[in-house]
Structure 1
Amino acid sequence: MPSDASELAQRLARDAEAVCRHYLSNGRRQGRYWLIGDVRNTPGRSMFVRLNRSNKGAAGKWTDAATGEHGDLLDIIRESCGLVDFHDVAEEARRFLMLPRSELRQSRGAARRLVQGGSQEAAIRLFAMSRPIAGTLAETYLRKRGISAVHHGGALRFHPRCYYRPNDEAALETWPALIARVSDLSGRTTGVHRTWLDPDVFDCANLGKAPIDTPRRAMGHLLGNAVRFGGVDDVLVAGEGIETILSLRCVLPTLPMAAALSANHLAALLLPPSLRRLYIARDDDPAGELALATLTERSLAAGVEAVALSPRLGDFNEDLRSLGVNELRGALWRQLAPQDVARFLSLAAIERG
């Protein structure tokens, strides 16, 4: 991979449009230029980036007519990502350049592979390119759903401009996204789950999800695997959605949990060999009932005790938002095995609630 600034800039300039689509996603192409408000990805038309070499300058060079600022694609990466040290800028540029060219081109076939299907390798790259959720829109989104203490153990990250295409014919879009790592029983990353978010999360009626057709999608190898929170010993809670599991972790932060991402995947979840008791956090709908029945049967056949955890409303996130953490804690206290109450649930907290 290129190491010095000039070589990095030259390599980026070969795919100048792809760089602009990724880091200046609020702009658009017009002729031989990419138009945008400024280098920090503000919508507008005062800044223009040359996409092809011409007698007026090299590809990747840009000028902001409103401020007189100018630079190259490394400057775009620095400013749009809010980076300070050149080391961090170079690392981000190298990560971008490591993506295969087929994934950077905006052709229909490549975009479909990148944003709709997606391999395990692409999932690993996406998670590596994402950032911790602290102080990001992802943390705001979770707090809006009542999840104020996020005990995620590094399974969750945030990407400010994650690709999204609603269908083969639609234009490629970018939205901020909560990125969740899917892993197998050995802890190996097998995929990711993306929840695209609305930047106007406080005003969004859809609880912070982006106003798009399918704001949740997964990529990679999912069957039998899950988004995992905590290392499993002999007890595990398994459920469908990430928000459902995080709601339970607001009350049971030390109890290992797994989000299978759908009812069908919950039914097919692979069980750790050390497992002795499995709590199944069901959703209150027909698909949730079927997943509960199937996973219970599989657990008992493997010699694992299966215990259903039932929400009062549609799911445990709805319980958390509507009833509050103390009511949720009391409801779980009545459903857990006595030894697990003493082990994982604070009785003092129940009495204070």
Structure 2
Amino acid sequence: MVGHDAGDLARRLAENAEAVCRRYLSAGRRHGNYWLVGDVRNTPGRSLFVRLHDTANGRAGKWTDAQSGEHGDLLDVIRESLGLVDFRDVADEARAFLSLPRPDPIPPSQDCPVRKLGSASSSEAARRLWAMSGPITGTAVETYLRRRDMTLLHGAGALRFHPRCFYRPDEHSLTETWPAMIAAVTDLDGTLTGVHRTWLAADGRGKAPIDHPRRALGGLLGHAARFGVASDVLAAGEGIETVLSLRVVMPDLPLAACLSSAHLAAIMFPPTLRRLYVLRDDDPAGDHAVATLMARTKEAGIECLVLSPRLADFNDDLRYLGRGAMRAILHPQLAPQDVARFLLPIMH
């Protein structure tokens, strides 16, 4: 008989992710590139997101429950949805689903251990990195942001500076160190769940000259880098630079940077939220995030309004068109009551 280890089974299941979801998460439904369901035990709802195809943001078959923070792969889905305990039973079920032969018996001492949902190691590493980072005043982070015309930096406690943050292009490369902007990713209670790193040039005059100057660490889905405390109104977008650009003309508007379109679509709503502004990125992934949030907010009874930049994003609007133009761009897109509440008047 041919054996199949956990990694091989998980990969084969991921190649048939939608079929797996329809079998074991039948209480959910497909929405774009995701299968949405209440939790990994097949409860009706929309908290858990299963990625159905590989994207730039992640692999097919990976899932995260934005409510509980659990995450894993499709083997975990099979185990939890069926209430299985031993990995042998999980693997047998996966092989049966995939029409694969059962492996030859192996001694108990060599049997696979029970897999656990996700891992706390990346979140712990994120907490350590945050603790080792310091204020941004007078650092490359402040230079980087000010060069992008983001001058209103008070209250940006979600950002820190690390002077020598490790960067490794891939597992076969040597580790490098670069200055980095570290953003805290927190849940609705303010608990740190992860961090986002933006590696910078030594003088802060741009990003570091590396292949992937942005990377996340820890748990992001459903959470965000937050600027201000949201109550009834919140504006959410993908990038840190995008949301900080709005602070220049709307300094009292609570903001959330979700760091990718998938994470933006999955943002958890504060319990008192009544209106959500979505900062739209002009690309298909951004359109998908907007559509998903429109559906989720409608279901939750929250008003959802889209804010669209004139150029590629709001930082481009700020840098190339100026504050006055940015104010004029935002004014007609805001709810009338929020114009007086949040939008700074034009200064002559």
TM-score bin (small chain): 0.5 to 0.7
- Residue in structure 1 matched with residue 207 of structure 2 by the alignment: 209
* Pair 1:334-2:337 in alignment: no
- Residue in structure 1 matched with residue 229 of structure 2 by the alignment: 231
* Pair 1:197-2:200 in alignment: yes
Q: Which runs of 5+ in 2 are unaligned?
A: 1-119
**1:311 maps to amino acid:** P
Is the CA contact (8 Å cut-off) linking 1:151 and 1:253 kept in structure 2?
Answer: no
Is the CA contact (8 Å cut-off) linking 1:182 and 1:225 kept in structure 2?
Answer: yes
Is the CA contact (8 Å cut-off) linking 1:151 and 1:246 kept in structure 2?
Answer: no
Q: Distance in 1 between matches of 2:225 and 2:154?
A: 13
**Alignment partner of 1:334: what SS?**
helix
Q: Distance in 2 between matches of 1:184 and 1:275?
A: 15
Q: Distance in 2 between matches of 1:133 and 1:330?
A: 31
**Alignment partner of 1:194: what SS?**
strand
Is the CA contact (8 Å cut-off) linking 2:234 and 2:255 kept in structure 1?
Answer: yes
Offset of residue 171 of structure 1: 0.2
Cα 1:223–1:314 change in 2 (3 A) is same
Is the CA contact (8 Å cut-off) linking 1:151 and 1:250 kept in structure 2?
Answer: no
Offset of residue 153 of structure 1: 3.5
- Residue in structure 2 matched with residue 246 of structure 1 by the alignment: 244
* Pair 1:268-2:271 in alignment: no
- Residue in structure 2 matched with residue 298 of structure 1 by the alignment: 296
- Residue in structure 2 matched with residue 123 of structure 1 by the alignment: 126
Offset of residue 237 of structure 1: 0.1
Q: 2:146 aligns with which of 143, 147, 154?
A: 143
* Pair 1:312-2:315 in alignment: no
Q: Distance in 2 between matches of 1:191 and 1:152?
A: 20
* Pair 1:173-2:176 in alignment: yes
Is the CA contact (8 Å cut-off) linking 1:285 and 1:314 kept in structure 2?
Answer: no
**1:155 maps to amino acid:** A
Q: Distance in 1 between matches of 2:247 and 2:254?
A: 9
**1:307 maps to amino acid:** L
- Residue in structure 2 matched with residue 188 of structure 1 by the alignment: 191
**2:267 maps to amino acid:** L
Q: Distance in 2 between matches of 1:325 and 1:219?
A: 33
Is the CA contact (8 Å cut-off) linking 2:141 and 2:204 kept in structure 1?
Answer: no
Q: Distance in 2 between matches of 1:191 and 1:180?
A: 9
| Superposed structure 1 runs of 4+ greater than 4 Å apart | none
**Alignment partner of 1:185: what SS?**
coil
Q: Distance in 1 between matches of 2:284 and 2:325?
A: 25
Offset of residue 118 of structure 1: 5.9
After superposition, give the CA deviation of every residue in 1:58-92 in whole Å (9 maximum; x if it has no partner): xxxxxxxxxxxxxxxxxxxxxxxxxxxxxxxxxxx
1:63-82 matches, cutoff 5 A:
none
Q: Distance in 2 between matches of 1:133 and 1:258?
A: 19
Q: Distance in 2 between matches of 1:227 and 1:331?
A: 24
Is the CA contact (8 Å cut-off) linking 1:163 and 1:175 kept in structure 2?
Answer: yes
CA RMSD of aligned residues (A): 1.3
Q: Distance in 2 between matches of 1:172 and 1:245?
A: 31
Q: Distance in 2 between matches of 1:223 and 1:287?
A: 16
Q: 1:344 aligns with which of 335, 342, 346?
A: 342
Offset of residue 201 of structure 1: 3.7
After superposition, give the CA deviation of every residue in 1:157-213 in whole Å (9 maximum; x if it has no partner): 0000000000000000100000000000111000000000001444xxxxx000001
- Residue in structure 2 matched with residue 72 of structure 1 by the alignment: none
* Pair 1:161-2:164 in alignment: yes
After superposition, give the CA deviation of every residue in 1:108-148 in whole Å (9 maximum; x if it has no partner): xxxxxxxxx96111111111111100110000000111111
Q: Distance in 1 between matches of 2:166 and 2:272?
A: 39
Cα 1:221–1:330 change in 2 (3 A) is same
Q: Distance in 1 between matches of 2:122 and 2:180?
A: 18
Offset of residue 276 of structure 1: 0.2
**Alignment partner of 1:214: what SS?**
coil
> Percent of pairs identical after alignment?
63
